[in-house]
Amino acid sequence: MATTEHHATDRGPVAIVGAGVIGNGWAARCLASGLDVVVTDPDPAGAQRLQAAIDTAWPTLDRTGLHPGASRERIRFTTDLEDAVSGATVVQENAPENEAVKRDVLARIDAATDPATLIASSTSGLMPSTLQADCRHPERVFVAHPFNPVYLLPLVELVGGGQTGTATMDHARGFYRALGMRPLTVRREVPGHIADRLMEALWREALHLVNDGVATTEEVDAAVVYGAGLRWSLMGTFLTFHLAGGDAGMRHMLEQFGPALKQPWTRLEAPELTDTLIDRVVQGCEHQAGQRSVRELEQRRDEFLVRLLDLVQEYWPENEGLANRI
């Protein structure tokens, strides 16, 4: 891998490319961390979406604690990409999940920024080696994949491409830690990284259960919310199964339940998205939402996550367990 020396300060300014759900979430988190933020989107209506997103996120961020000097006034919107990124020390790209579009946007960012500027892509599945291919300085281009809501959830997957510099990855880890995040460096690039591959497997199985008439969307969600999800939120998959083995731990668990892996319990190939399946999923979700708007559901989600994250922090302090593994 190539290496590069970075002189950019972790205290900004930061440029956010794309005023969608993820981009606006990044903007809120960076503002709360006391940074100056420039957001760019080719759609002028992005300015209104950005303002609405900050309105939604700010009360929660205020409750969880703002960095000294943090202000929602330290933000600017422009439709001019080159103007937005020209003075940034870090650029977080959030263009649509389309390889050609992202490669073009990243090449433009690369051409308009100082070679010391970090360039991160929020892609959920594309490979960084592909994304950096058209850049003159590919050593500073990498994937930084967050999770929605970005302003609350701490995990960010960092993935370097074949030309990404080791200094870039070191600098990136420091930057995202300064945002209060948990950087997880993916050891090698694979489509979908780590977390999305796990979620995709569960999503495919959930679609089969609905498609086959085994369960409704509400019943599938209940199985996660009141069962495995509660354990996963604290211990994840492997440590949860380690406890399932009793005093002998994972070894006994694998001896006892390992043979079940040969049974046809799951169907990882996704079912065809027929009109019937789409209707079942959409109607099920609308039934679950009831009369609550998306914004009301977002507020409920954020309040829950704040309390849940406090519990995770209480039971996995900084110096032990999962909190110190990533």
Question: How far, in Å, CA of 127 to CA of 166, rounded?
Answer: 17
Instruction: Give which of 210, 228, 208, 229 is closest to 218, Cα–Cα.
Output: 210
What pLDDT score was predicted for residue 5? 36
Instruction: Give which of 30, 171, 44, 42 is closest to 105, Cα–Cα.
Output: 42
- In this structure, the number of other CB atoms found within 10 A of the CB of residue 114 comes to 15
Angle subtended at Cα 124 by Cα 122 and Cα 130, rounded to the nearest 5 degrees: 80
What pLDDT score was predicted for residue 31? 97
Q: What is the mean pLDDT of the chain?
A: 90
Residues of the chain with pLDDT under 70: 1-12, 318-326
What pLDDT score was predicted for residue 319? 53
What pLDDT score was predicted for residue 241? 82
What pLDDT score was predicted for residue 52? 96
What pLDDT score was predicted for residue 8? 36
Question: How far, in Å, CA of 176 to CA of 10, rounded?
Answer: 9
What pLDDT score was predicted for residue 318? 65
Instruction: Copy the structure tokens of residue 7.
Output: 């002189």
Task: Please report the domains of the chain, with CATH numbers, ordered by start residue.
Answer: 14-185 (3.40.50.720), 196-290 (1.10.1040.10)
Q: Which residue has the tokens 């300064």?
A: 178
Please provide the distance, in angstroms rounded to a whole number, between the alpha carbons at the two ends of the chain: 22
Instruction: Copy the structure tokens of residue 32.
Output: 């709360």
